[in-house]
Amino acid sequence: MIIHDISINIEEDMIYWWEGKKPEMRSVFKIADGAPSEVTRWLLGSHTGTHIDAPRHFIEDGDTVEKLPLDIFIGPARVVDATTADDAQIDAAMVEKANLNGATRVLFKTSNSTKLLTKKDYNPKFVGITDDGAQALVDAGVKFVAIDYVTIEAPDQCEEWPTHHILCGNGVIILENANLADIKDGTYFLCCLPIKLKGSEGAPARTVLIEGIEC
C-alpha cells in the first residue's frame, strides 16, 4: 500500500486567493520561556491550503461542512491528467474525452501542480474548469471534484463564478489546492476529511490518495 499525501502545507507564507488573507501563527506558550509545553494559536480562513468548498459557499441555503455525508469523501477516485501544452481550460469536451466511466470522485491534474502551486504568490494564469465543463461533470454524476490550484473556477469566469454555482447548486463537493504533481492518471482510494467547522461554507482537509486498496 502506498499513501500519497496531496495536501499542501499550511504556513504563514503560502499561496492564497489574492483577495483573501494568509494564515497567521502566534505562540501562546513556549518551553524556552519556562512553559511546560508548546502551544500555538492559528488564525485561518476556511479556504486555507487544501480545502473543500461546501454547497453553502455559493448557495444561500446549501449544506455547510458538518452536514456533508462522509461517504462523499472516502472511496474510489479517478485522477485525470488534463495537462496540455497550451494550458487549456477544462471544458465539456475534455470531460467527455476523459471517459470517466461512472466515476463519482474526480481529481483533475494540470500544469498548476508543477508551475503554480509551489509558488508563494497567486498567479492569475491558472487552469480551471469552465461552466460547460462543470455541467458535463454534473451530467456525468460526479459528486466530488478537485483541482490543483486555489480555485476551480476558470480564470476568466472569476466575476460571475458560474462553475461554482453549477457545482455547489447540484451538491457537488469541490476540493481545491490538491497537489497532484507526483500522481499519475488512474484510479486511487481517496480519503479526504475536512475539519468539522459547524456552519462553515468550507474547511481545510488533509487529503490522501492510496494505491494498493481494491477499488
Distance CA 22, CA 15 (A): 8
Sign of CA dihedral 117, 68, 65, 161: positive
Q: Which candidate, 123, 104, 105, 106, places its Cα nearest to that of 114?
A: 123
Catalytic residue among 47, 51, 57, 164: 57
Distance CA 41, CA 181 (A): 31
- Per-residue H/E/C for 3-25: EEECCCCCCCCCCCCCCCCCCEE
Does residue 4 carry a catalytic annotation?
Answer: no
- CB–CB of 195/204 below 8 Å? yes
Write the CB contacts of 43 (distance below 8 Å, at least 6 apart in sequence). Answer: 23, 24, 25, 26
Catalytic residue annotation? 57
